[in-house]
Amino acid sequence: MKPNDTKTLYSIFISLFDSGNYTEAIEIYDKVLTETNDIETLGDIGYSLYDSGNYTEAIKYYDSVSNRSK
């Protein structure tokens, strides 16, 4: 398993997110984002931030998704 493999990092993100470790999950997903620059990644980070109660930061990620999809 490669430590920076996108699929591996995504699996780690899911595990952290499902266990409620939102801050750590976002850190992992930021790594995925630097590897893929994917709109779905931005949306998932926004969802994680929202779920953890960080609404202001979540809006920034949702805005990024909106701006990239235009």
Quick one: three-class SS letters along the chain? Answer: CCCCCHHHHHHHHHHHHHCCCHHHHHHHHHHHHHHHCCHHHHHHHHHHHHHCCCHHHHHHHHHHHHHHCC
What's the pLDDT at 19?
Answer: 92
Which residue segment(s) compose the domain that 10 sits in?
6-68
Residue at 1 is within a domain: no
What's the pLDDT at 14?
Answer: 83
Confidence of residue 69 (pLDDT cuts 50, 70, 90): low
| Domains in the chain, number | 1
CATH of the domain at 40: 1.25.40.10
Residue at 50 is within a domain: yes
Q: Give per-residue pLDDT as tens, 7-58.
A: 788 788 889 988 988 888 888 877 777 776 667 777 777 888 888 888 988 8
Predicted TM-score (pTM) of the model is 0.60
Residue at 39 is within a domain: yes
Query: Is 2's pLDDT higher than 80?
Result: no
Residue at 64 is within a domain: yes
Residue at 16 is within a domain: yes
